Structure 1
């Protein structure tokens, strides 16, 4: 493991190829490249050892995680009970992270409340870590999905629509009746740029899309 880490962090080179032409070999000076699996792997080492000591501690909140992105969820009937439970669980998790020489990124940690009460739409949770109040967001993004207060996924679908629209515009610039890229290139580009963005976590917004479609169908025709 130590040898693998040292080889990953040292003597890394990059070579770019385009249209059969290669640039000269360049040495990386900024550590591991973006998207490297080194950080999540190192995080998962203490978390996946088959021992109860290394498992995440028990909390009242449900825990969700992918690689090194963790989230906890707690349901309580009152705001006070919610804040007390979250503060207690955050203290437990922070103590666990410190035990294994890990540090919570407080600047990237946010709190959010999900409910259907319009009257308390602007109310914010008070969750603290090391006497620092966590940032509260009305619609935080987790693993690329925008989670709004009512979990309608409307904001997420709007962002996906904007992203897909801009990428379709790029594909159109490659296509033409008498010029442009080949059909194979257009198909591969569309699958890589457009389909990947449109289909990512599509199941989460499927119900919201059906509700939106039902709203469209229920609109009465305009008077002539």
Structure 2
């Protein structure tokens, strides 16, 4: 089942056994390469990545063959900005997005002193930029935030941003700072995005 966007292409193959997977992979890649050759395009084998989406206990680094070249499967790959790990837990994506947003909040904190500094409207605008980073692709991975471990990384970032937004001290709790700052918990924002997407589909 191939899908493409700009110069990216993803092929999803279902198989019960590794030899069947390799056989189907050969068939799929043959069709892809024939189409590309017909349109004077070429496949960058060196940029090709694989991830085995399975909960089965198998070797993570499994060699696969593409056009005579061996490619080792990865524990996770990025597609359209979302990290897809082998169990589709989305933990690597969520933790990575939280780290990136944390860097933004830390940088913005230098501009948002508790006394004086930016106006409340500008503070809220800057906070939204951190939330936008964390919520990218939430329509796909939103359900994963039902696990406390996954929520915690993003909630910690949102709390730090909310404290700066409402000029509160560190002793103020996360829920209290969010109420004062007028921010919706990241968990509910993610679920709402996924609900809207499913309603459209």
Structure-1-length-normalised TM-score: 0.61
Q: Which structure has the higher relative contact order (CA within 8 Å, separation 6+)?
A: 2
1:162 corresponds in structure 2 to 99
Give the secondary-structure state (helix, strand or coil) at the position aligned to 1:110.
coil
Residue of structure 2 aligned with 1:173, choices 104, 107, 110: 110
Answering whether residue 51 of structure 2 is matched by residue 112 of structure 1, we say: yes
Residue of structure 2 aligned with 1:198, choices 128, 134, 151: 134
- Compute the RMSD of aligned alpha carbons: 2.2
1:214–1:174 distance in 2 versus 1, CA, 3 Å: closer
Answering whether residue 160 of structure 2 is matched by residue 185 of structure 1, we say: no
2:76 corresponds in structure 1 to 139
Pairwise CA distance, 1:214:
10
Unaligned runs of 5+ in 2: 153-201
> What are the equivalent positions in structure 2 for 1:63-78 lying under 5 Å apart?
63-78=2-17
Q: How many residues align?
A: 152
> What are the equivalent positions in structure 2 for 1:56-95 lying under 5 Å apart?
62-95=1-34
Give the secondary-structure state (helix, strand or coil) at the position aligned to 1:84.
helix
Whole-angstrom distance in 2 between the partners of 1:154 and 1:65 = 24
Unaligned runs of 5+ in 1: 1-61, 217-224
Contact 2:61–2:73 (CA<8 Å) still a contact in 1? no
Whole-angstrom distance in 1 between the partners of 2:136 and 2:84 = 14
Give the secondary-structure state (helix, strand or coil) at the position aligned to 2:85.
coil
Whole-angstrom distance in 1 between the partners of 2:150 and 2:43 = 43
Structure-2-length-normalised TM-score: 0.68
1:98–1:184 distance in 2 versus 1, CA, 3 Å: same
Whole-angstrom distance in 1 between the partners of 2:52 and 2:63 = 7
Larger radius of gyration: 1
